[in-house]
Amino acid sequence: MERITGGGLFPLALAGAGVLLLYRMLVRLRPGASLQDAVVVITGASSGLGKECARVFHAAGARLVLCGRDASRLQQVVQELTASSAETHNQTHIPRTVVFDLAATDTMDRAAEQILKCYGQVDVLINNAGISYRGNILDTNISVQRDVMETNYFGPIALTQAVLPSMVCRRSGHIVVISSVQGKIAIPYRSAYAASKHATQAYFDCLRAEIERFGIPVTVISPGYIRTNLSVNAVTGDGSKYGILDKTTATGWDPRDVAHAVLKAVRHRSKDVVLAGSLPSLAIYLRTLWPALFFKLMASRARKEQKLKNK
Ligand SMILES: NC(=O)C1=CN([C@@H]2O[C@H](COP(=O)(O)OP(=O)(O)OC[C@H]3O[C@@H](n4cnc5c(N)ncnc54)[C@H](OP(=O)(O)O)[C@@H]3O)[C@@H](O)[C@H]2O)C=CC1
Ligand SMILES: CCCCCCCCCCCCCCCC(=O)OCC(=O)COP(=O)(O)O
């Protein structure tokens, strides 16, 4: 029998990597699960990424429950989607709407009841709604830190926990959350936002492990910058609205592309998806593999931003 020497190991490893790559490519090419008639709940569906998700899941034939704080803006989305129904070859459904404020965490049981009343079940819950923040920790009221946490963390987890028993009963369902690259790395002047997204990542990672036995997948999606009103709607350290469309946001990914990636992740029941360019992706690895360098880079970034503000 031929012995595998050091020289023989390299081609073997290369062949193994090739097979793995091929397998991953084939997995990506699979169409994934159908969403025709699936009940899909989307929070923050009145604008930005949530609205684009509503478009792509509607076109895929899903029965939508669109959530937000403003009934008239949600109705506008319903009208737009209904008007576009002829453009798709799937059978489409008129979306339903449920209005609630995620920051009112103690009303999530009532919100879940209303959501479940729409179709009697939830197949996919997409926790998308969120708010960002711009501020220096030294000048930030603790109430602002708490408010961002309510909207981005406590609201979504309370809603998830209120919907989950019905999924467990049916041994069917899918929980999705839109986190951020900032759920994996923390950048200066984003404390409230990055903290809420890190908490989100941790909670949904725990949930994934705990509910796997019921056949309910959990998908955490971490996008980089997307061209939406997130920065305009962000809060500052004193609770006032930031109101500026940042260059990073304006030059971010097209929300339609991100929505298509969300659809693909749902179809494939992906566990953890980062949707970002090479620099943020590299930064995520750097944070784990060479934290000292990452912290140096962040401190330099903080100094530069502070200098610009002082000008
Ligand atoms: N844009 C970006 O660069 C990135 C965004 N993300 C994430 O994507 C998600 C969507 O944000 P995006 O579309 O960009 O931003 P938008 O500001 O355009 O949309 C945010 C949505 O969240 C809803 N929302 C905000 N606060 C509440 C609340 N208290 N209760 C209920 N709904 C609320 C808003 O609805 P309404 O005001 O009508 O109630 C709105 O529909 C967020 O979780 C964000 O963190 C992640 C990475 C990058
Ligand atoms: C040896 C090579 C080192 C290369 C690493 C360089 C590190 C560069 C830092 C990159 C930071 C990327 C930050 C990305 C942040 C992001 O995409 O956030 C998405 C959001 O959620 C946006 O929200 P915001 O309110 O901040 O607009």
> pLDDT tens digits, residue range 143-161?
999 999 999 999 999 999 9
pLDDT higher than threshold 80 for residue 306: yes
Domain assignment present for 4 = no
Judge if 180 and 254 occupy the same domain: yes
* CB 192 less than 6 A from any atom of ligand 2: no
Judge if 61 and 50 occupy the same domain: yes
* Among 160, 150, 78, residue whose Cα is nearest residue 124: 160
Testing ligand 2's pocket by substitution, the residue of 274, 278, 297 carrying the most ligand atoms inside 8 A of its CB is: 297
Domain assignment present for 17 = no
* CB 127 less than 6 A from any atom of ligand 2: no
CATH number of the domain residue 65 falls in = 3.40.50.720
The predicted model scores a pTM of 0.93
Judge if 301 and 207 occupy the same domain: no
Active site annotation includes 193: yes
Question: How far apart, in Å, are the Cα atoms of 228 and each of 43, 58, 131, 180?
Answer: 15, 20, 12, 14
Judge if 111 and 244 occupy the same domain: yes
Phi, psi of 29 (to 5 degrees): -80, -20
- Cα(49) to centroid of ligand 2, in Å? 19
Domain assignment present for 283 = yes
Domain assignment present for 20 = no
Judge if 212 and 286 occupy the same domain: no
Give the number of domains in the chain. Answer: 2
Domain assignment present for 208 = yes
CB 53 within 8 A of CB 128: yes
Tell me the average pLDDT across 70-97.
94
CB 275 within 8 A of CB 258: yes
pLDDT higher than threshold 70 for residue 24: no
- For 243-275, the three-class secondary structure string (H helix, E strand, C coil) is CCCCHHHHCCECHHHHHHHHHHHHHCCCCEEEE
* Among 133, 129, 147, 131, residue whose Cα is nearest residue 242: 133
Domain assignment present for 2 = no
* Among 253, 261, 231, 257, residue whose Cα is nearest residue 244: 231
Judge if 164 and 64 occupy the same domain: yes
* Among 235, 68, 229, residue whose Cα is nearest residue 146: 235
**Domain region containing 298:** 278-311
- Cα(296) to centroid of ligand 2, in Å? 14
For residue 287, which ligand has an atom nearest its CA?
Answer: 2
Domain assignment present for 11 = no
Domain assignment present for 210 = yes
Can you give the pLDDT at residue 29? Answer: 62
Nearest protein CA to atom 10 of ligand 2, as residue: 280
Judge if 81 and 196 occupy the same domain: yes
Can you give the pLDDT at residue 7? Answer: 60
Least confident of 21-25, 30-34, 81-85, 198-202: 21-25
Judge if 264 and 310 occupy the same domain: no
Catalytic-labelled residue, pool 193, 225, 242, 285: 193
ipTM greater than 0.95: yes
